[in-house]
Amino acid sequence: MSGCATHGELLGGYVLGSLDAAEMEEMRAHVAGCPLCGPEARDLARLPALLDHIEPADVPPPALPPSVEEAVLDRFARERGRERRARRARRRTFTIPRVAALAAACAAAVALALVWSGDEDDSSAYGSAKLAPLARGSSAAATAWVAEVPAGTRVRLRARGLPTVNGSMYELWCVRADGRWVSGGTFRAGGDGRAEAELTAAVRPGDYHLMVVTRHSRGAAPAERGPALLRGRLRY
């Protein structure tokens, strides 16, 4: 991406904050001294904020059968595993290219963004959303159905593949059109990484178009948010 032979291909993930902790630390040290990656990282620093303002096209993505989601997620996980093994081998020999693995992983990610089962799980719902993982190598996913209630919006959430280290807690957010994040509450995942929760957020139909799941930090102030794990557009 930057022309750097050793770390250029990781620069995009570094700017988006989607690398794992070890890779992010390695890239921070590299970018600080690299004459190629350093300037480009600064030029791309505004990219994450711009991506959050991208609105969906007027024509919704084509509806795909429910079986496609499982197939895409499985392929995504397999490709990520192959890409990680290739990267480790490249660091040992500096000769094995990663272009094919990265291209396949990107193709899987694009396909995942188009997955929409249309399986309405709640007849009272005014909309639903498919939430896809933001981190590289993650196979987590979630589906949310939203219905209007006197307090605002009831969210029925089903998730799988969530990390369960040290009894992790998660938080659901509805992102309003004005950029304000409204919490729908917290929930936990079981030992198998699956979760089913019914939450309530103080938003109304049309107020928001984006839903995000973050890792919840114990003792954090109400306005503080943990790192984002899943994100998806609401389909009315």
Answer yes or no: is 61 within a domain: no
Which domain range does residue 19 map to? 8-52
pLDDT for 153 equals: 96
C-alpha separations of 162 from 101, 187, 199, 230, 231 in Å: 24, 11, 18, 10, 13
Other C-beta atoms closer than 10 Å to the C-beta of 141 total 23
Answer yes or no: is 121 within a domain: no
Answer yes or no: is 87 within a domain: yes
Inform me whether the pLDDT recorded for 225 exceeds 90: no
Name residues whose C-beta falls within 8 Å of residue 217's C-beta, 6 or more positions apart in sequence.
Answer: 224, 226
Asked if 130 and 118 count as a contact pair (C-beta separation under 8 A), the reply is: no
132 and 103 housed in the same domain: no
Inform me whether the pLDDT recorded for 85 exceeds 50: yes
Residue with more model confidence, 217 or 180: 180
Confidence of residue 152 (pLDDT cuts 50, 70, 90): very high
Answer yes or no: is 169 within a domain: yes
Answer yes or no: is 39 within a domain: yes
CATH of the domain at 45: 1.10.10.1320
Asked if 101 and 86 count as a contact pair (C-beta separation under 8 A), the reply is: yes
Answer yes or no: is 200 within a domain: yes
pLDDT digits (tens, 9 = 90+) for 96-148: 445 455 555 544 444 444 443 444 445 688 999 999 999 888 999 999 999 99
Domain count, the chain: 3
> What would the two tokens of residue 227 be?
């790192």
Phi, psi of 58, deg, nearest 5: -60, -35
pLDDT for 38 equals: 86
Answer yes or no: is 3 within a domain: no
Residue with more model confidence, 224 or 151: 151
Strand ranges in the chain using DSSP code E only, listed in sequence order? 127-133, 141-149, 152-160, 169-176, 181-188, 195-201, 208-216, 228-235
pLDDT for 226 equals: 85
227 and 131 housed in the same domain: yes
Answer yes or no: is 150 within a domain: yes
pLDDT for 62 equals: 55
134 and 222 housed in the same domain: yes
C-alpha separations of 38 from 9, 47, 65, 222 in Å: 14, 15, 44, 35
> What would the two tokens of residue 166 be?
């040290």
Inform me whether the pLDDT recorded for 165 exceeds 90: no
231 and 132 housed in the same domain: yes
- Type of residue found at 175: V
228 and 134 housed in the same domain: yes
Taking Cα atoms as reference points, which of 201, 138, 192, 120 lies closest to residue 130? 120
Residue with more model confidence, 28 or 95: 28
46 and 107 housed in the same domain: no
Residue with more model confidence, 95 or 87: 87
Identify which of 45-49, 111-115, 225-229 has the greatest average pLDDT. 225-229
